[in-house]
């Protein structure tokens, strides 16, 4: 048996002013054939999983390119087409193949192409032929389109948010693809449009129980896989919204019924699932009260200035408010500012310089902060963990405004905070801090919860399109909640 694998992924915020070009992929993660590291990345976990299965099962694995760009604005059309064609040429050269496995995100949008993944999958199908099994993994913050369903045999999205299960879901997808290629199963994908868009964290109820019940269905009554496509708030595409995808072993009616029942149950939970959010003022009051008696730091999450949602991650609103309130013993991870990092690298560790940092990418995220700072740490390449994956920060610096104990990580590769080692890797002792300010919506939660006295989700009112009632979607034509109270009964 011959199996081809490739990965092309990013999450596109169509409202973001940050262009995504080939350098965005090369600076984040790019592995040509055979160069994928042994550790997984979020969207390319199928590579190490397939390597293990190939060694165990004895089939031939042909590796294509794997690449990922940090979430940003529209992908340059030439960049998308060149990376797509690179992978398709590799697939063509690998023929004949029994199976194709693709590690995708599912929310990539290029100039002139709203459904990048659908386009890639359809072209792969045309090359590989109708009898080749094609499977793909997806991030749930994506868009599920008819073109993808029509051309895939296996569809598996991460179930957890934060995405702590990306390796496990890759293992499941690979197993199903191999079983289908051996003709042990005949997978059929059934979907249901929930006609909603919401924030669906599984780190709390009611989504915790909902996902546990959904996962328990897998392996029962010919159900091979169950996925929730949450949708991506910042993607202005026709298929925006939440969907259920059920893969059955040749039981389409069973799959269709379960997708509809599950989707209706999720729709009934609308408006009850999101994390409790505080404005800046109430959040600082609560944080100060918790820190007064806590033996561990209080974590404040700047949920909408999150590079993982395609924005810059250089917002200063919360940090500025904390400094003006006289709060100290703070660690900040991170503020994206390549210019400030360049200045710090030139000055060197121990230098005291006048530095302007943050607030440079556009309106809505606060003004730049001007301060005399001590450059406490500079590195040419910093990293953090995300489960078994390593996430690059790029060249980075830690600066401390003079007269304070506030340590601020400035970085060059935009990324959200995933793990406390984002601080430890730059010699910041979080045990000595009262407050940790992180840029992340929820992916930080799993790793930070064990070390936090309390976690506060802060809505600073930044420019991320977080309220679909007010977001000016131009390509969304069907009714969805909360833009329509009764979208299932509305005319579209």
Residue where a domain terminates, one of 216, 243, 268:
268
Is there a single domain that holds both residue 295 and residue 320? Answer: yes
Residue where a domain terminates, one of 230, 245, 268:
268
Is there a single domain that holds both residue 305 and residue 192? Answer: no
Q: How far is CA 5 from CA 51, 142, 322, 341, in A?
A: 10, 21, 47, 37
Is there a single domain that holds both residue 328 and residue 242? Answer: no
Place of tokens 């990306």: 166
CA angle 144, 147, 150 (to 5 degrees): 105
Is there a single domain that holds both residue 67 and residue 174? Answer: yes
Classified as helix, coil or strand, 229 is strand
Q: State the pLDDT at residue 491.
A: 54
Could you count the other beta carbons within 10 Å of the beta carbon of residue 353? Answer: 16
Is there a single domain that holds both residue 72 and residue 140? Answer: yes
Cα–Cα distance for residue pair 120/132, rounded to 1 Å: 15
Q: State the pLDDT at residue 492.
A: 43
Q: How far is CA 35 from CA 47, 91, 97, 421, in A?
A: 10, 17, 21, 26
298-302 and 435-438 beta bridge pairing: parallel
Phi, psi (rounded to 5 degrees) for 57: -100, -15
**Within a domain: 313:** yes
The pair of three-digit structure tokens given for residue 360, joined into one six-digit string: 């440079």
Helix (H) or strand (E) holding 28: helix 22-28
**Within a domain: 464:** no
Cα–Cα distance for residue pair 53/490, rounded to 1 Å: 48
Place of tokens 């793990």: 419
Is there a single domain that holds both residue 211 and residue 332? Answer: no
Alpha helices in 58-204 (DSSP H): 77-94, 116-128, 146-151, 166-181
**Within a domain: 476:** no
CA angle 329, 332, 334 (to 5 degrees): 170
Note down the domain range covering 240: 2-268
Phi, psi (rounded to 5 degrees) for 53: -70, -35
Number of domains in the chain: 2
**Within a domain: 357:** yes
Residues contacting residue 204 through CB under 8 Å, at least 6 positions apart:
275
Is there a single domain that holds both residue 230 and residue 352? Answer: no
Residue 271 burial (CB < 10 Å; 0-12/13-18/19+)? exposed
Q: Of 275, 260, 150, 117, which is closest to residue 195 (Cα–Cα)?
A: 260
Is there a single domain that holds both residue 367 and residue 245? Answer: no
CATH code of the domain in which 122 resides: 3.40.50.2300
**Within a domain: 57:** yes
Could you count the other beta carbons within 10 Å of the beta carbon of residue 293? Answer: 7
Q: State the pLDDT at residue 345.
A: 98
**Within a domain: 477:** no
Helix (H) or strand (E) holding 30: strand 29-31
Residue where a domain terminates, one of 242, 268, 294:
268
Is there a single domain that holds both residue 247 and residue 304? Answer: no
Q: What number of CA atoms fall less than 13 Å from residue 469's CA on the CB side?
A: 4
Bridge partners (DSSP) listed for residue 63: 5
The pair of three-digit structure tokens given for residue 96, joined into one six-digit string: 């004949």
**Within a domain: 492:** no
Q: Of 270, 369, 366, which is closest to residue 311 (Cα–Cα)?
A: 366
Q: What number of CA atoms fall less than 13 Å from residue 244's CA on the CB side?
A: 24
Cα–Cα distance for residue pair 151/130, rounded to 1 Å: 9
Is there a single domain that holds both residue 333 and residue 247? Answer: no
Classified as helix, coil or strand, 492 is coil
**Within a domain: 486:** no
Q: Which sign, positive or negative, has the C-alpha torsion 456, 462, 464, 465?
A: positive
Is there a single domain that holds both residue 263 and residue 175? Answer: yes
pLDDT in tens, the chain (492 residues): 999 999 999 999 999 999 999 999 999 999 999 999 999 999 999 999 999 999 999 999 999 999 999 999 999 999 999 999 999 999 999 999 999 999 999 999 999 999 999 999 999 999 999 999 999 999 999 999 999 999 999 999 999 999 999 999 999 999 999 999 999 999 999 999 999 999 999 999 999 999 999 999 999 999 999 999 999 999 999 999 999 999 999 999 999 999 999 999 999 999 999 999 999 999 999 999 999 999 999 999 999 999 999 999 999 999 999 999 999 999 999 999 999 999 999 999 999 999 999 999 887 889 999 999 999 999 999 999 999 999 999 999 999 999 999 999 999 999 999 999 999 999 999 999 999 999 999 999 999 999 999 999 999 988 899 999 999 999 999 999 999 999 999 754
Is there a single domain that holds both residue 262 and residue 304? Answer: no
């Amino acid at each position: 048996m011959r199996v081809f694998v490739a990965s092309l992924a990013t999450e596109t915020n169509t409202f973001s002013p940050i262009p995504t070009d080939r350098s965005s992929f090369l600076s984040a993660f790019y592995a040509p054939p055979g160069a994928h590291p042994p550790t997984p990345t979020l969207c390319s976990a199928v590579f190490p999983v397939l390597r293990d299965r190939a060694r165990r099962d004895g089939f031939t694995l042909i590796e294509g390119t794997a690449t990922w760009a940090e979430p940003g604005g529209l992908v340059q059309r030439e960049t998308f087409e060149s990376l797509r064609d690179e992978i398709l040429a590799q697939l063509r050269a690998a023929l004949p193949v029994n199976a194709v496995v693709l590690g995708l995100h599912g929310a990539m949008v290029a100039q002139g192409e709203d459904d990048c993944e659908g386009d890639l999958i359809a072209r792969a199908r045309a090359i590989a032929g109708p009898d080749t099994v094609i499977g793909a993994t997806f991030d749930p913050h994506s868009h599920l389109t008819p073109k993808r369903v029509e051309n895939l045999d296996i569809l598996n999205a991460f179930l957890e948010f934060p995405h702590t299960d990306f390796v496990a879901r890759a293992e499941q997808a690979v197993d199903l693809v191999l079983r289908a290629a051996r003709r042990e199963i005949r997978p059929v994908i059934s979907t249901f449009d929930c006609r909603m868009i919401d924030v669906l964290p599984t780190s709390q109820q009611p989504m915790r129980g909902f996902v546990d019940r959904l996962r328990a269905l897998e392996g029962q009554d010919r159900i091979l896989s169950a996925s929730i496509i949450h949708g991506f708030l910042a993607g202005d595409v026709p298929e925006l919204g939440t969907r259920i995808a059920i893969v059955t072993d040749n039981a389409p009616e069973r799959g269709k019924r379960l997708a509809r029942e599950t989707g209706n149950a999720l729709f009934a939970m609308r408006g009850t699932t999101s994390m409790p959010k505080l404005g800046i003022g109430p959040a600082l009051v609560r944080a100060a009260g918790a820190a007064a008696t806590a033996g561990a730091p209080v974590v404040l999450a700047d949920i909408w200035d999150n590079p993982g949602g395609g924005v810059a991650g250089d917002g200063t609103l919360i940090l500025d408010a904390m400094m003006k309130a006289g709060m100290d013993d703070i660690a900040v991870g991170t503020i994206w500012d390549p210019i400030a990092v360049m200045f710090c690298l030139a000055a060197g560790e121990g230098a005291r310089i006048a530095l302007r940092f943050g607030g440079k990418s556009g309106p809505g995220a606060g003004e730049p902060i001007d301060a005399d700072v001590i450059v406490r740490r500079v590195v040419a390449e910093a990293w953090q963990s995300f489960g078994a994956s390593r996430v690059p920060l790029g060249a980075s610096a830690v600066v401390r405004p003079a007269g304070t104990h506030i340590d601020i990580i400035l970085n060059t590769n935009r990324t959200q905070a995933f793990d406390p080692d984002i601080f430890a890797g730059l010699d910041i002792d979080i045990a000595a801090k009262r407050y940790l300010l992180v840029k992340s919506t929820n992916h930080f939660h799993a790793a930070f919860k064990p070390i936090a006295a309390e976690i506060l989700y802060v809505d600073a009112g930044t420019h991320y399109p977080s309220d679909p009632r007010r977001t000016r979607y131009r390509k969304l034509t069907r009714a969805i909640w909360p833009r329509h109270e009764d979208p299932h009964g509305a005319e579209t």
